[in-house]
Chains A and B, each alone.
Chain A
Amino acid sequence: MNQNSYSYNEEPLHEPIDVDATFSRDLLGHCRPIAFRTQSGREVQITEIGLVHPKYDGLKTIFAFDVTDGATDYRLTLDTESLNWYLDFEGDRYV
């Protein structure tokens, strides 16, 4: 990795993940993921949610959560039809 590059993987990973989330009445979104575990068992604690926005695939809504653990940015998606969570993008670790 170039020292100054910082990018996401170009194609979505679409890796199913386990997510711990809270639900609240919050202006930035009712659902807030707080941690996730990948299939390999890696656990990531979310320190900040950058932006939550809906994406539409026909009539299906998918919520995209741009989050960070303080060193890497991630894109988690919640499929509102299946209620499954996915890790779609992972940024380079910026040190």
Chain B
Amino acid sequence: MYNLPLKTMYVDLNSCFATIEQQARPMLRGRPVAITNRLTPNACIVAASYEAKALGVKVGMRRMEAESITKDIIFAETEPDKYIFVHKKLRKIMEEYSPDVTMKSIDEGVLNLALSPENIQNKPNPELVAEIKSRLRNEVGSYMSCNIGISSNRFLAKLAAELHKPDGYDEITPANQREIFGKLKLQDLPGINVRMEARLNAVGIRTPLQFLDADEETLVKMVCKSIDGHKWYQRLRGLEVDDWVSDIKSIGRQYVLESNRLTHQEIEARVIHLAEDAGMRLRSRNLYARGIYVWAVTYDDLPIHKNILLKDPIHTDADIIRVARKLFEEFPAPLRIVGVTLYKIQDSPQAQLSLDQDKVEHNNRLCQATDTINRRFGDRTIFCADSFGTELVKVKIPFGSTRFL
């Protein structure tokens, strides 16, 4: 690792959704709690408290599976409003320490301390960390805790934040990097999944230390076979290569269907609901889409998809629903998961006037009017009649991008 200033701080809320539920509902504290999107037997666990994890409950498990491990487990349904509130509180605290804050997801973010005001830069790191942890407890709740990692880039700061959970604080420095890497497995490193591990194994790299000692040429030519090899070489040495901001490339939603007895028409109603949600997000950013992709997964885990690239960009519900419905026409039923994604996103409408310009204008104005009503009186005050009765498709946790929070 190069001798660079340790100015990147990674803050990660511990078992975020489960801890927030334990903060909100004191009777859940100290108990094994699992959070699911719905309270159905087949629901997937999206977060587990440390008490549940200690008993062997893992994120991604089905509810039934967790119940077979321990009957003591308590299930709570996700409540996105609550998590978004805590996310905003955390972001506000972080923004008081640096003007350069990037939220990586609903429960974690990075501060660039190199741009912090002088009075903050002058504080020793342990003091800063203690202050942020204390503010989280004082301003959100006494049960809240976070892990904080500091290093010279995001990759190493995130790794530092993962070393001692919960409520940990670690720094990765040139002096301790080898010792820390020596205790880890490849998949403990952020960004190393099964496939990347297999590629590293194929050239004899089996440990983080061997990864760190690998020469740049091996990483470029034999492991990544792309510029990513250079990035990994630099990332492992503490240089920042992950501070880019991506444009919005696609906007979409997916839904795990609540029953295997739904007919094609009932599933189509849910697809329309998803199309409406995706359209609303698109218009909230004044964007347009040329591509629509409708996809599904059957109960046999068979993926199905259909997409279309339109000549002219669209953004009204009427247009998005019309195309999504057409694409869904030949899908079978029952299905396990359905999704609608808008892609080829652009920020301007069609360049040429349509021959049917009056109709286009009419549709735009109608859509603006319904959006205004929905903003004033709440989502789905006005919606497509064909998606009636699909309230279960309500917005769930926004994993990943925090753009629409």
Answer yes or no: are A and B bound together in one complex.
yes
Question: Is B128 interfacial (CB-CB < 8 Å)?
Answer: no
Q: How far is the CB of B381 from chain A (nearest CB, A)?
A: 7
8 A Cβ contacts from A39-82 to B: 48, 50-51, 53-60, 64, 66, 68, 71-73
Is B27's CB under 8 angstroms from A53's CB?
no
8 A Cβ contacts from B355-380 to A: 374-379
Q: How far is the CB of B77 from chain A (nearest CB, A)?
A: 8
Is A48's CB under 8 angstroms from B378's CB?
no
Residues of B within 8 A of A5 (CB): 74
Is B81's CB under 8 angstroms from A53's CB?
yes
Could you give, for residues 69-100 of chain B, a 1 whenever the CB lies within 8 Å of some chain A CB and a 0 otherwise? Answer: 00111111000011001100000000000000
**Closest residue on chain A to residue B141 by CB atoms:** A51
Is A91's CB under 8 angstroms from B25's CB?
yes
Question: Is A4 interfacial (CB-CB < 8 Å)?
Answer: yes
8 A Cβ contacts from B13-54 to A: 20, 23-28, 31, 39
Residues of B within 8 A of A4 (CB): 71-74
Question: Is A28 interfacial (CB-CB < 8 Å)?
Answer: yes
Question: Is A84 interfacial (CB-CB < 8 Å)?
Answer: no
Is B25's CB under 8 angstroms from A58's CB?
no
Q: How far is the CB of A9 from chain B (nearest CB, A)?
A: 11
Give Cα distance in the complex from A94 to B24, angstroms: 16
Could you give, for residues 1-40 of chain A, a 1 whenever the CB lies within 8 Å of some chain B CB and a 0 otherwise? Answer: 0001111101000000000000000011000000000000
Give Cα distance in the complex from A71 to B26, angstroms: 9
Question: Is B188 interfacial (CB-CB < 8 Å)?
Answer: no
Q: Which of B23, B82, B138 has the most CB of A within 10 A?
A: B82
Given the interface pairs A58-B375, A58-B376, the reply to whether A51 lies near B73 with Cβ below 8 Å is no
**A57 CB contact (under 8 Å) in B23, B24, B26, B378:** B378
Is B138's CB under 8 angstroms from A27's CB?
yes
Give Cα distance in the complex from A68 to B71, angstroms: 24
Give Cα distance in the complex from A56 to B377, angstroms: 9
Is B381's CB under 8 angstroms from A58's CB?
yes
Question: Is B131 interfacial (CB-CB < 8 Å)?
Answer: no
Residues of A within 8 A of B26 (CB): 48, 50, 68, 73
Question: Is B213 interfacial (CB-CB < 8 Å)?
Answer: no
Residues of A within 8 A of B376 (CB): 58-59
Chain A contributes a number of interface residues (CB within 8 A of B) equal to 27
Q: How far is the CB of B143 from chain A (nearest CB, A)?
A: 8
Question: Is B140 interfacial (CB-CB < 8 Å)?
Answer: yes
Q: How far is the CB of A81 from chain B (nearest CB, A)?
A: 12
Question: Is B179 interfacial (CB-CB < 8 Å)?
Answer: no
**A73 CB contact (under 8 Å) in B25, B73, B138, B140:** B25
Residues of A within 8 A of B377 (CB): 57-59
Give Cα distance in the complex from A88 to B17, angstroms: 21
**B139 CB contact (under 8 Å) in A7, A27, A48:** A27
Q: How far is the CB of B81 from chain A (nearest CB, A)?
A: 5
Give Cα distance in the complex from A7 to B75, angstroms: 7
**Closest residue on chain A to residue B144 by CB atoms:** A51
Give Cα distance in the complex from A6 to B26, angstroms: 12
Chain A residues in contact with chain B, CB under 8 A? 4-8, 10, 27-28, 48, 50-51, 53-60, 64, 66, 68, 71-73, 91, 94
Closest 5 CB pairs of A and B: A66-B24, A53-B85, A51-B24, A58-B378, A73-B25
- Some 15 contacts from A to B, beta carbons below 8 A apart, are A4-B73, A7-B74, A27-B139, A50-B24, A51-B85, A51-B140, A58-B378, A58-B379, A60-B378, A64-B82, A68-B25, A68-B26, A73-B26, A73-B27, A91-B27
Apart from A51-B140, A64-B81, 9 more pairs, CB < 8 Å: A7-B76, A8-B76, A50-B143, A51-B85, A57-B377, A57-B378, A59-B376, A72-B27, A91-B27
